[in-house]
């Protein structure tokens, strides 16, 4: 069934729907929407299909990603990114070069994305 959906590129509407349940974060006012986290309840079959789809896409795209890409990659995480940054800093000091860094906090970045443009 999943193979046929993959080939036809059509996913049943029910698999794409979610019921969003607001869960209070246990801090701040219960009257403030930003103190809630939305939990999406999804179809089990839809989640299974999404996982299979994710594996197929990852298998075809993993080789395209830079080694400096750590987010959302199997076997890579924050510790790897911190290690790479530390190595870069140490080499910069060792060779008496300048190093310019920018750290960007993307917290709630997707709250501001225009969904229609996505």
Asked if residue 17 lies in contact with residue 44, where contact means CB atoms within 8 angstroms, the answer is: no
Asked if residue 45 lies in contact with residue 58, where contact means CB atoms within 8 angstroms, the answer is: no
For a pLDDT cut of 90, what percent of the chain falls above it?
64
- Reduced to 3 states (helix: H, G, I; strand: E, B; else coil), residue 38 is strand
Give the per-residue pLDDT at 17. Answer: 93
Residues 48-96: pLDDT tens digits?
Answer: 999 999 999 999 999 999 988 888 888 999 899 999 999 999 999 999 9
- Give the confidence band of 45 by pLDDT, cuts at 50, 70, 90: very high
| pTM for the model | 0.60
Angle 75-5-113 (CA atoms, 0-180°, nearest 5)? 60
- Give the confidence band of 115 by pLDDT, cuts at 50, 70, 90: low
- Reduced to 3 states (helix: H, G, I; strand: E, B; else coil), residue 105 is coil
Give the per-residue pLDDT at 118. Answer: 60
- So where are the chain's domains? 1-64, 67-105
């Amino acid at each position: 069934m999943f193979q046929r959906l993959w080939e036809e590129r059509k996913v049943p509407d029910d698999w794409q729907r979610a019921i969003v349940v607001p869960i209070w974060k246990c801090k701040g006012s219960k009257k403030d929407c930003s103190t809630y986290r939305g939990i999406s309840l999804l179809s089990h079959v839809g989640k299974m299909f999404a996982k299979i789809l994710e594996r197929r896409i990852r298998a075809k795209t993993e080789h395209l990603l830079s080694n400096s890409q750590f987010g959302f990659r199997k076997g890579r995480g924050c510790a790897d990114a911190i290690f790479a940054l530390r190595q870069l800093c140490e080499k910069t000091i060792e060779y008496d070069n300048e190093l310019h860094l920018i750290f960007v906090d993307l917290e709630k970045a997707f709250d501001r994305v225009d969904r229609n443009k996505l």
